């Protein structure tokens, strides 16, 4: 791994797997949970656009979530995300379980090395070197056939609104002959609108995508898998418009 956050995620994952194999309950107590994820993606894609001509992207994320004992169904969380040397994102938020689903409100701060990806050979994607983004979302309950969600993001540096809806459906791999494998499918569609900012002219476009992840559970707390992904955007940028396919390998851990 090329940075400390990725190394930390890998360390937490490795130590956590060993802990999970011997201790079924959380060593942190019932109110605090830690999730670690690290992955390799064959392309750098976000919000319908390929962001770099460099092949391959290592990603890692750590999330700490604390269930507030005095407010049933409410938790606060803090996260750190690293996309290789491309960008780092630090966030905090609050989740509230309601009868219809989960309300998610949060903030994230992004630090990036380059504000325009065309410095890496791909014109058409704008990324501020330092950005603040606020969001609110609703994820509907798990007992519906497709688990839909809707999120609204606002970036103050890019003056950009991003509204995205998605749906998720899980399948048991044994139904198609893949025993011990779970299949998670997702569909999403988004709309981005941005006023003129210090980093870009006013711009708007639509995007959509789909993914299928094949996940093998090592135990109740750890899993590994691979995924196939597709995204498409309607922007008129020369090098990033249209569709892109990519694959990824990942490992998840929670305790």
Residue 113 clears pLDDT 90, i.e. is over it: no
What predicted TM-score, i.e. pTM, was given to this entire model? 0.84
Distance in angstroms between the alpha carbons of the first and the last residue of the chain: 23
Give the Cα separation of 230 and 207 in Å (integer): 11
CATH architecture of 4-254: Beta Barrel (2.40)
Residue 14 clears pLDDT 90, i.e. is over it: no
Sort strands 203-217 and 181-194 into parallel, antiparallel or unpaired. antiparallel
Q: Are 131 and 155 in contact (CB under 8 A)?
A: yes
Q: What is the pLDDT of residues 192-227, one digit of tens each?
A: 998 888 877 788 899 999 999 999 989 889 999 999
Length of the chain: 255
Q: What is the pLDDT of residues 139-153, one digit of tens each?
A: 987 666 788 999 999
Q: Are 162 and 192 in contact (CB under 8 A)?
A: yes
pLDDT of residue 146: 80
Select the more confidently predicted residue: 126 or 109: 109
Select the more confidently predicted residue: 73 or 228: 228
Q: What is the pLDDT of residues 119-132, one digit of tens each?
A: 444 567 788 889 99
Buried-exposed string 21-50: b where 16+ CB fall within 10 A, e elsewhere? eeeeebeeeeeebbbbbbbebebbbebbbb
pLDDT of residue 201: 78
Q: Are 183 and 214 in contact (CB under 8 A)?
A: yes
Q: What is the pLDDT of residues 95-108, one digit of tens each?
A: 999 988 999 999 99
């Amino acid at each position: 791994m090329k940075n400390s956050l990725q190394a930390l995620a890998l360390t937490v994952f490795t130590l956590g797997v060993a802990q999970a194999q011997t201790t079924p309950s959380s060593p942190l107590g019932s109110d605090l949970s830690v999730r670690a994820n690290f992955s390799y993606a064959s392309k750098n894609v976000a919000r319908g656009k390929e962001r770099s001509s460099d092949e391959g992207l290592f990603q890692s994320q750590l999330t700490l979530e604390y269930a507030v004992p005095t407010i049933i169904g409410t938790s606060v969380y803090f996260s750190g995300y690293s996309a290789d040397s491309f960008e780092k994102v630090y966030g905090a938020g609050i989740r509230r379980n309601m009868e219809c689903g989960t309300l998610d409100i949060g903030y994230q701060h992004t630090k990036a090395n380059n504000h325009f990806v065309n410095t890496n050979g791909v014109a058409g994607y704008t990324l501020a070197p330092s950005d603040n983004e606020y969001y609110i979302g609703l994820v509907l309950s798990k007992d519906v056939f497709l688990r839909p969600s809707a999120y609204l993001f606002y970036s103050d540096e890019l003056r950009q609104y991003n509204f995205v809806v998605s749906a998720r459906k899980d399948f048991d791999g044994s139904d198609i002959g893949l025993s011990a494998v779970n299949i998670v499918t997702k569909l999403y569609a988004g709309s981005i609108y941005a006023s003129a900012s210090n980093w870009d002219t006013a711009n708007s476009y639509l995007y959509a995508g789909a993914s299928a992840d094949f996940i093998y559970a090592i135990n109740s707390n750890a899993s590994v898998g691979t995924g196939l992904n597709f995204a498409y955007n309607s922007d008129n940028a020369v090098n990033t418009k249209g569709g892109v396919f990519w694959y990824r390998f990942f490992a998840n851990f929670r305790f």
